[in-house]
Amino acid sequence: MQKAAVLVAGGRGTRMGAPISKQYLPIAGLPILMHTLSVFHQVDSAIELILVIPKDDFAYWNELCEKFQFQIPHQLVAGGNSRFQSVKNGISAISFEEGLVAIHDGVRPFVNESVIQESFEKAAEKGSAVAVIALKDSIRKLTDDGKNFYQERQYFRLVQTPQTFDLKRIRKAFQVTELPQFTDDATVYEHQGWEVTLISGNPENIKITTPEDMDYAEYLAERKNGR
């Protein structure tokens, strides 16, 4: 079965507050996106890699690729005004019609190869595979009138990426008007009435978002390199 991965990195990283968008910041000396592309390439060099970044950044990215002698083949696609639009652009650019696509945040460079592998296997069987992890903390639900209530945390999961799908289905699912609940791809798929299958993610697979995440990311990269 043919496989693609769409790495979305069309955002501006405002919460990071860095002088350059967070997806280009270095971890262990290498831009974040190069780490993420490398993990997918290592899982299977036949995976078609689509990298979605803002159109204005194409020249900058090409300079980075030259500077770091980055050789992993990938296609650049222009991002949109929201993650939903960026994913839509990315899945439209895949060169084949039938197969699987893993949609992944470009700023999650610490995804385990085994999670990616399992996501493709489960999506081949079930149509979808979404990486999640259990909560370690207790949680409370807030209400509009200022109250808060206990929640049974065993019924909740934190959602990560990759979110891997049958390509035909997810392309169809994205042919809808964007809704506020579409904070990820599983919600878009589910909107069609299709059941989302969950798989276990890895806890280190953080979405690099704020400056303190960069310190943890350096630690994780050191730990990985020292393995």
Ligand X SMILES: Nc1ccn([C@@H]2O[C@H](COP(=O)(O)OP(=O)(O)OP(=O)(O)O)[C@@H](O)[C@H]2O)c(=O)n1
Judged by CB under 6 A, does residue 14 bind ligand X? yes
**Binding to ligand X (CB under 6 A): which residues in 174-213?**
207, 209
Judged by beta carbon, residue 65 or residue 204, the one nearer ligand LQXTBERG is 204
Return the closest-CA partner of residue 92 out of 185, 197, 171, 37: 171
Residue closer to ligand X by CB (options 129, 159) is 159
9 lines the binding site for ligand X (CB under 6 A): yes
Diameter of the chain measured on Cα atoms: 56
Strand partners, 95: none
In the shown chain, the binding pattern of residues 38 to 77 toward ligand X, with x for contact by CB under 6 A and - for none, equals: --------------x-------------------------
Write down the least CB distance from residue 99 to ligand LQXTBERG, Å: 22
Gap between the terminal Cα atoms of the chain? 32
- What is the Cα–Cα distance from 158 to 164, expressed in whole angstroms? 16
CB 87 within 8 A of CB 175: no
Residue 82: which of ligand X, ligand LQXTBERG, none does it interact with, CB under 5 to 8 A by kind? Answer: ligand X
Please report, as residue ranges, which positions from 199 to 218 form the binding site for ligand LQXTBERG (by CB under 6 A): 207
Q: Give the containing element (helix H, strand E) for 213.
A: helix 211-225
The one segment of 12-20, 43-51, 64-72, 133-141 that binds ligand X by CB under 6 A:
12-20
Closest approach of Cβ 141 to ligand LQXTBERG, in Å? Answer: 19
The residue count of the chain comes to 227
| In the complex, minimum distance from the CB of residue 172 to ligand X, in angstroms, rounded to a whole number | 21
Side-chain-side CA neighbours of residue 29 (13 Å) = 5
The neighbouring-strand residues paired with 166 are 100
Cβ neighbours around 141 below 10 Å, total: 9
Residues 150-209 that bind ligand LQXTBERG (CB under 6 A): 159-161, 183-184, 207
Q: Among residues 101, 105, 103, 108, which one has the least CA distance to residue 202? A: 108
Rule CB under 6 A: which residues touch ligand LQXTBERG? 83, 105, 159-161, 183-184, 207
By CB under 6 A, name the binding residues for ligand X: 8-15, 23, 52, 79-83, 86, 105-107, 207, 209
